[in-house]
């Protein structure tokens, strides 16, 4: 068991990781709620669970301690008063405008054991689950044909996004879309009340209650001095500033490198187009290289943030901050434009490094995997026919908690 949060790189040997095994929440997806719940396809749950279990087992086989959202949240809310507070926070973020229905849902969920309650919150509360309630307003009596009182959380298997372990601290992100904001409450209670997960002294770099969005897929810890963040469809400049002011003032980190990437679904987060795979090697999607803008944020002697545009080429900038002679940018799909587009859509750039030069990838991205292999990277490819339907890869599906230092 690896105690506490310790994460100062993207590639140090992975010791502990937080996952979520897909459950009944995926069965709450229909074409009618795709846009609302941020999906454009429906994973077949039985096969998706097999693929996810194989992913988790691969990590264990490589010496990684695997922990799960449901288990760790259940530990955090074992105290009855904490359980009540947690449930009220979830309900407050669930767009319930009816007091009578809210009270009925509270009673329904609170009666469950903690682990069952957390799983049901993630799965969503359907209208058919609440057999009766006392109407206390007109809203209680007005009905529609939408099947849920509380939406499911099908995106939670992408555990990278609600938070990020950075150094010896944690970000609790204000997610860009309402569909994902309740996910962070689970992590918030882990941080506050589960001391196996976050021992006393674990810093909080970003507070969920902040008004500006930032998501974990945009956050890459390059080394003890440098964090890279994507300014993207889901992460705002104001969110980056809030994070930078905290982490640069209270840690070993000296700079935040900001990548401005196109705001489109295919490039949703920085890690969908750019990941670190070795001391001096990165995957990159070739379509971002042209429009990419870079900025550097540092902390001045007066305690104020300093900002500057970076005119240096990306490869030169990375080599400088990593203190290596040069870096190799390995293009997703290589020189084949169609392969690059196809494999980036299926997260060919979204690799999870579990040690320097050893990465987990989706097997369907065979062009990129072959390029990585030829560059000396050990590629551990997993089945992904159903997992990939959610538009996220191995890095998206994992929240590293503890890594060895480089």
Has residue 352 got a pLDDT over 90?
A: yes
Instruction: State pLDDT tens for residues 31-41.
Output: 999 989 989 89
Partners of 165 in beta bridges = 170
Instruction: State pLDDT tens for residues 380-404.
Output: 999 999 999 988 999 999 999 999 9
Average pLDDT, the chain: 93
CATH class of 14-66+154-403: alpha beta
What's the Rg (C-alpha) of the chain? Answer: 21
Q: Which two structure tokens, joined as six digits, stand for 62?
A: 């490589």
With a pLDDT cut of 70, the percent of the chain lying above it is 97
Q: In the chain, which residues fall in CATH 1.10.3930.10?
A: 95-150
The reported pLDDT for the residue numbered 291 is 62
Catalytic residue list:
396
Q: Which two structure tokens, joined as six digits, stand for 212?
A: 């500006």
Q: What are phi and psi of 318, to 5 degrees?
A: -65, -45
Instruction: State pLDDT tens for residues 258-300.
Output: 999 877 666 678 998 999 999 999 999 887 776 678 999 999 9
What are the residue ranges of helices labelled H in 5-44?
Answer: 34-37
Has residue 220 got a pLDDT over 80?
A: yes
Has residue 362 got a pLDDT over 70?
A: yes
The reported pLDDT for the residue numbered 131 is 82
- CATH classification number, 95-150, choose in 2.60.40.10, 2.40.37.10, 3.40.190.10, 1.10.3930.10: 1.10.3930.10
């Amino acid at each position: 068991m690896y105690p506490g949060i310790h994460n100062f790189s993207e590639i140090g040997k992975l010791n502990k990781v937080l996952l979520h095994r897909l459950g009944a929440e995926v069965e709450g997806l229909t074409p009618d709620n795709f846009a609302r719940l941020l999906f454009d396809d429906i994973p077949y749950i039985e096969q998706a669970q097999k693929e996810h279990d194989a992913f988790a087992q691969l990590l264990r086989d490589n010496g990684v301690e695997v922990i799960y959202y449901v288990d760790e949240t259940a530990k955090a809310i074992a105290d009855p008063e904490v359980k009540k507070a947690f449930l009220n926070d979830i309900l407050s973020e669930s767009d319930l405008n009816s007091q009578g229905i809210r009270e009925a849902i509270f009673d329904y969920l609170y009666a469950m054991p903690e682990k069952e309650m957390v799983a049901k919150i993630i799965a969503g509360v359907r209208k058919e689950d609440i057999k009766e309630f006392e109407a206390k307003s007109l809203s209680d009596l007005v009905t529609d044909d939408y099947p849920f009182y509380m939406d499911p959380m099908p995106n939670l298997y992408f555990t990278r996004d609600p938070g990020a372990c950075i150094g010896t601290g944690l970000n609790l992100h204000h997610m860009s879309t309402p569909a994902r904001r309740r996910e962070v409450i689970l992590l918030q209670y882990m941080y506050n009340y589960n001391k196996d997960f976050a021992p006393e002294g674990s810093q909080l770099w970003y507070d969920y209650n902040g008004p500006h969005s930032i998501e974990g897929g945009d956050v890459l810890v390059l080394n003890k001095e440098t964090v890279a963040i994507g300014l993207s469809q889901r992460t705002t400049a104001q969110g980056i500033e809030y994070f930078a002011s905290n982490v640069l003032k209270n840690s070993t980190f000296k700079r935040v490198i900001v990548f401005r990437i196109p705001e489109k679904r295919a490039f949703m987060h920085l890690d969908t187009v750019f990941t670190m795979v070795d001391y001096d090697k990165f995957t990159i999607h070739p379509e971002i290289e042209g429009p990419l803008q870079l900025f550097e944020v540092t902390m001045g002697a007066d305690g104020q943030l300093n900002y500057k545009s970076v005119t240096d080429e990306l490869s030169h900038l990375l080599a400088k901050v990593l203190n290596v002679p040069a870096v190799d940018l390995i293009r997703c799909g290589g020189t084949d434009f169609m392969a690059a587009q196809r494999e980036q859509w299926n997260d060919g750039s979204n690799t999870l490094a579990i040690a320097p030069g050893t990465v987990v990838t989706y097997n369907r991205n065979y062009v990129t995997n072959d390029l990585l292999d030829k560059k000396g990277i050990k590629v551990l490819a997993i089945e992904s026919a159903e997992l990939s339907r959610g538009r996220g890869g191995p890095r998206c599906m994992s929240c590293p908690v503890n890594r060895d230092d480089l």
